[in-house]
Structure 1
Amino acid sequence: MRKLLLKFNKLFAVMIITGLMSSCIVTQTNVGKYAEAKGTEYTYSKAKQMWVLYGLIPVGKTHTETPADGQCQVNTQFRMIDVLAIVFTAGLFGMQTIKVKAKR
């Protein structure tokens, strides 16, 4: 029983550390003159990209909509649910969240 509790504590610690580090795995790319544009920011579209075999093989091709004027910000990030999917499948399956933001 003690060994099981010790293993659970180690797994829990790894999950917490992974979750805390996941906020650092964010890429933001401004397209067009998005940074200079004025207005309120909103989420234009959102999608999930999935992979198998440690990120080597993409599952399908993710298409996210972009504004007609082309001015947007593309954010790719590993959210907590994405990290949990990777942890629980030992990397065999993974996801990444893609979010396109625009201004009104």
Structure 2
Amino acid sequence: MSRELSTGDPAPALRLTAHDGSIVDLADATHSGTVVYFYPKAFTPGCTTEACDFRDNLAALKGQGYDVYGVSGDDPQELQRFVTEYHLPYTLLSDAS
């Protein structure tokens, strides 16, 4: 059963494969906050705009103690291509289930 999350709610347990092939468990996040955004598919116009907005504002987010993770249904290889093409300096996670 899924439920809608509100700002400030703890994220559900997520253990996913990152774009670089590593396994990320968000329960291990060490910063004071974590931003997890979900998007349908890499390289689509809206998703690319969103990813680049996080890229362009990452320094401010990091300065406030936040880590950023993007989650989509794309496989890790596609996510790596997306990271490389758009110079995304944060972790993208694959939820291909």
The interval holding the TM-score normalised by the smaller chain is under 0.3
User: Which entry has the higher C-alpha Rg, 1 or 2?
Assistant: 1
Choose between structure 1 and 2: higher strand proportion.
1
TM-score normalized by the length of structure 2: 0.24
